[in-house]
């Protein structure tokens, strides 16, 4: 069995890196704080005798050899980057639990048939550069590596420059290598497991998504002298779009998701009618058709709302993906492990995007969820219990072992 206390201690040690006063974590991807987290992770892996390699987009793979040199590796892990006001467990749980799997195998002197690889994906959150699942998406060929390198944060720093500045642009190509299966443990980040008193979520797939970048252009003007008829206020136009995104979400009931999470006003001065507003829009739904329908109708609806105010809208679709089902055989290994361990479990569709979604395009994939307090995530108050972390880690251990020795 895995060591629940050791798992928890390492989670807390990782949470010290980028710890915020309110008890959360700010470990934005490819920052100095992220580098610290990555260095710590690398030391921990090397102390176990794992060999760590880094690919061109900064994804880190820590390998433990198997008995059978002809077998493909079983891959597992998650991400160590966080939101600006993130929690201690979103991502870190899957990586540190993977480490605990490796430690337990070493302790018990277990060698597996297939090799094992533990991964820390770069920039899962998408908060800094605006594309979630960036590292796994680049690895999976969903994103073009050159384009990803050129993406910039609000300060104009590019992904490429950030990779170089923290020394995590590795020599290995950021593309799929042969892998037998991928498992990812993650907190649910939603309320379902907690509400139903389930210890384990058997994730059968992830919901469909579409993300946009929006720029509204109006005209900077003096707030005191410019009469209503002469205004082209980009923020008034943006307010209409924000309200519409919210309405489109609510029209889809409790399964609907529609969010404007990022917004920047220019010149952002109290007595200047805003001349430009830049913001993000994203929609999600378990059913692909709903996202296809939104992707077909939202751009022209938003365009109409904005042009009625005399402003112009540029809307760029950043990415869109369908509902991603996971591999039935891998999902079954999770189901069996949870049953064997006697955990109350249920099937669940992931509301969040996960690296597993892109990996699943190339590799048989499954995920394991554990509950989190009040379903709260992307929030410094994000919280889980040590026994929940332990249960999830033990399920991961058993699923990985079963696959590697099959």
Q: Which of residues 374-403 bind a copy of itself (CB under 8 A)?
A: 375-380
Q: Using the minimum distance from each CB to a copy of itself, give the nearer residue, 240 or 343.
A: 240
Judged by CB under 6 A, does residue 93 bind ligand URP? no
* Per-residue contact flags (x/-) with a copy of itself for residues 194 to 223, judged by CB under 8 A: -------------x-x-x-------xxxxx
* Per-residue contact flags (x/-) with a copy of itself for residues 344 to 363, judged by CB under 8 A: ------xxxx----------
Sign of the C-alpha dihedral computed for residues 6, 7, 12 and 17 taken in this order: positive
Judged by CB under 8 A, does residue 262 bind a copy of itself? yes
Judged by CB under 8 A, does residue 286 bind a copy of itself? no
Whole-angstrom Cα distance, residue 142 to residue 236? 35
* From 2-10, 66-74, 94-102, 182-190, span contacting a copy of itself (CB under 8 A): 182-190
* From 50-58, 121-129, 135-143, 247-255, span contacting ligand URP (CB under 6 A): 121-129
How distant, in Å, are the alpha carbons of 106, 150, 162 from that of 156? 44, 10, 11
Q: Using the minimum distance from each CB to a copy of itself, give the nearer residue, 72 or 376.
A: 376
Q: DSSP character for 169?
A: -
Among candidate residues 299, 305, 330, 310, the one with its CA nearest the CA of residue 396? 330
Q: ∠ at Cα 15 (11, 18), nearest 5°?
A: 155
Asked whether the beta carbons of 62 and 51 are under 8 A apart, the reply is yes
Whole-angstrom Cα distance, residue 276 to residue 237? 10
Judged by CB under 6 A, does residue 125 bind ligand URP? yes
Q: Select from a copy of itself, ligand URP, none the partner in contact with residue 155, using the beta carbon and a kind-dependent cut-off of 5 to 8 Å.
A: none
Asked whether the beta carbons of 357 and 236 are under 8 A apart, the reply is no
Whole-angstrom Cα distance, residue 116 to residue 153? 34
Q: How many residues does the chain have?
A: 406
Q: Using the minimum distance from each CB to a copy of itself, give the nearer residue, 11 or 236.
A: 236
Residues that bind ligand URP (CB under 6 A): 90, 124-126, 132, 189, 222-224, 271, 352-354
């Amino acid at each position: 069995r895995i060591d629940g206390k050791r798992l928890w201690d390492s989670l807390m040690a990782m949470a010290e890196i980028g710890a915020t006063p309110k008890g959360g974590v700010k470990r934005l991807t490819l920052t100095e704080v992220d580098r610290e987290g990555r260095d710590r992770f690398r030391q921990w892996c090397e102390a176990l005798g794992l060999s760590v390699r880094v690919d061109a987009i900064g994804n880190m793979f820590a390998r433990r050899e198997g008995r059978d040199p002809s077998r493909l590796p079983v891959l597992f892990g998650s991400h160590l980057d966080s939101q600006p006001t993130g929690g201690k467990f979103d991502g870190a749980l899957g990586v540190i639990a993977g480490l605990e799997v490796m430690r337990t195998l070493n302790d018990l002197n277990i060698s597996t048939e297939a090799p094992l690889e533990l991964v820390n994906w770069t920039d899962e959150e998408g908060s800094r550069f605006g594309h979630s699942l960036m590292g796994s998406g680049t690895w999976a060929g969903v994103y073009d590596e050159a384009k990803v390198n050129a993406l910039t944060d609000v300060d104009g720093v590019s992904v490429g420059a950030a990779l170089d500045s923290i020394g995590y642009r590795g020599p290995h190509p950021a593309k799929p290598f042969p892998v037998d299966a991928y498992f990812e443990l993650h907190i649910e980040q939603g309320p379902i497991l907690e509400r139903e008193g389930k210890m384990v979520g058997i994730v059968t797939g992830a919901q469909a998504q579409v993300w946009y970048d929006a720029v509204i252009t109006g005209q900077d003007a003096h707030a005191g002298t410019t009469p209503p008829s002469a205004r082209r206020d980009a923020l008034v136009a943006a307010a209409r779009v924000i309200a519409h995104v919210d309405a489109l979400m609510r029209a889809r009931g409790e399964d609907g998701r529609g969010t404007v999470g990022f917004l920047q006003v220019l010149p952002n001065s109290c007595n200047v009618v805003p001349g430009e507003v830049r913001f993000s829009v994203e929609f999600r739904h378990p059913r692909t058709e709903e996202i296809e329908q939104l992707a077909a109708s939202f751009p022209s609806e938003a365009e109409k709302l904005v042009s009625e105010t005399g402003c112009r809208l540029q809307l760029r679709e950043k990415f869109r993906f369908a509902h991603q089902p996971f591999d039935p055989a891998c999902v079954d290994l999770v189901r069996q492990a949870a049953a064997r361990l006697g955990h109350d479990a249920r099937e669940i569709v992931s509301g969040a995007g996960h690296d597993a979604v892109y990996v699943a395009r190339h590799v048989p994939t499954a995920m394991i969820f554990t509950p989190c307090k009040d379903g709260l995530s992307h929030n410094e108050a994000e919280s889980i219990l040590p026994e929940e972390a332990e249960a999830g880690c033990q399920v991961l251990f058993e699923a990985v072992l079963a696959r590697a020795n099959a």
